[in-house]
Structure 1
Amino acid sequence: MELNALVTQVGEALKSHNIMAVTAESCTGGMIAEALTSVAGSSAWFDRAYVTYSYESKREMLGVKETTIQRSGSVSKDCVTEMALGALQQSHAEVSVACSGIAGPSGGSPDKPVGTVWLAWARQGHGDIVTKKMLFEGDRDAVRLQTTQVALEGLLEILQN
C-alpha cells in the first residue's frame, strides 16, 4: 500500500478509537513520525516521537534497562519491547510503535546483518506487545523506508484487532 494512503488509514483508525499514537525510533531517525505528521489533522491522533539513537537516550528517555542493552543489544526484541512500553509511559498516547535496527551500510555482524530490524507495537489495556524481526534488503534509505512501512502496517493491524 502507498505510504500516504497507509498513513491516512492509520489516522482514521486512531480517530475512530479516539486515541493517540507515539513513536520510539532508532534506525528510522524520526521517519515514522514524519510520515504520520505528513497528513493534515494528525495533531488529533499523534502525540509525540522519541528519536533515541544512542544507548543513553534509550535508557534516559524510554527507560530501557542497561542490562537489556548489555545482554541483548539495542537491536533486539527485548530492547524494542522496552522502547514501546517506555514511549507509552512517557506520553499521553495509548498505542506505540518502536524500532531499532542496522540500516547500514556498516554496523552489521554475522548474527545481526545489515538490514536487521526489530519492531514492537503496544496498546494500553490490550494484552501482549507484538514484536517482529525483519531482514530488509537494499541501501540505508531502503531499509529505513521499509521499516517505516512495516511500522505503519503494524499500527493499523493493532488498531483493527
Structure 2
Amino acid sequence: MITAKALDKRAADLIDTLRRKGLMVATAESCTGGLVAGFLTEIAGSSAVFDRGFVTYSNAAKTEVLGVPADLVAAHGAVSEPVARAMAEGAVRAARTDIAVAVTGIAGPGGGSAEKPIGLVHFAAARRNGPTIHRECRFGDLGRRQVRLESVGVALDLLTEAAGAPT
C-alpha cells in the first residue's frame, strides 16, 4: 500500500525530471478529484512545470471541458480506456501543455459492477505530437482513500514514462 510520504517523494522526482526536460504538464482527473494535481503542486517550484488541473468528475464535464465525445462515454462508459485516452488528449489540447495524465475509475464504496468492480481505474498519459499510453489497474476494494492514493502513484508513474524518464 502506497503512502502519502512515498507519493510526495515521487512527485518531487517527477517535478525535477520535468524541469530538466523543459516540459509542462496538466492533469485531467475524475475519481482522484484533483489529488494528482495536489501532490504535484505540493512541491516547491512546481509552477515551472505544472500548468493546470482539470477535475472533470461528471460525464458532462468530461465532454464540455476536455472535449470527450458524449457518444464515446455512452458507448464505453466513463471508466474505460477510450475515455481515459480522450481525457488525456483533451487536456493536452485545452492546456496546450507537452504532457497530460488522465484518471477515471471507481473508488467505491459503491458504484461497482461485475464488469467494472470497485477499484477499477483507467489511466492515460498523452504527449503532444507523441503516443498516448494507457494503463488499467484493478486495485480491488481497498477503501476509497487507498484506491485514490494508489491511483496517484500510477498517474505519477505514467507522467514519468511520458516524459521519457525511467519509472
After superposition, give the CA deviation of every residue in 1:3-60 in whole Å (9 maximum; x if it has no partner): 1111111111111111110000000000000000000010000000000000100000
Work out the CA distance in 2 between the residues paired with 1:10 and 1:37: 11
Q: What does 1:102-121 correspond to in 2, within 5 Å?
A: 102-121=106-125
| Equivalent position of 1:124 in the other structure | 128
Match of 1:24 in 2: 28
2:139 partner letter:
F
Alignment gaps of 5+ in structure 2: none
Q: Which amino acid aligns with 1:17?
A: K
Aligned amino acid, residue 79 of structure 1: V
Q: TM-score, normalised by structure 2?
A: 0.93
Aligned mates of 1:42, 1:92 — CA distance in 2? 17
Tell me which stretches of 4 or more aligned residues in structure 1 moved more than 3 Å.
Answer: none
- Cα shift at 1:118: 0.2
Q: Secondary structure at the match of 1:90?
A: helix
What letter corresponds to residue 54 of structure 1 in structure 2?
Answer: S
CA distance in 1, matches of 2:28, 2:72: 16
Structure 2 residue aligned with 1:34:
38
SS across alignment from 1:106: coil
Structure 1: distance between partners of 2:151 and 2:7? 12
- Tell me if structure 1 keeps the 8 A contact 2:23–2:163: no
Which residue identity does 2:137 align to in structure 1?
A: M
**Count, aligned residues:** 160
Q: Report the residue type matching 1:131 in the other structure.
A: H
Distance in structure 2 (CA, Å) of the matches to 1:4 and 1:118: 22
**Percent of pairs identical after alignment?**
41
Q: 2:138 aligns with which of 131, 135, 152?
A: 135
Once residues 110 and 45 of structure 2 are traced to their aligned partners in structure 1, the CA distance between those partners, rounded to angstroms, is 38
Identify the residue that residue 156 of structure 1 maps to in structure 2. Answer: 160
CA contact (8 A) 1:13 1:160 kept: no
| Structure 2 residue aligned with 1:92 | 96
Structure 1: segments with no counterpart, 5+ residues: none
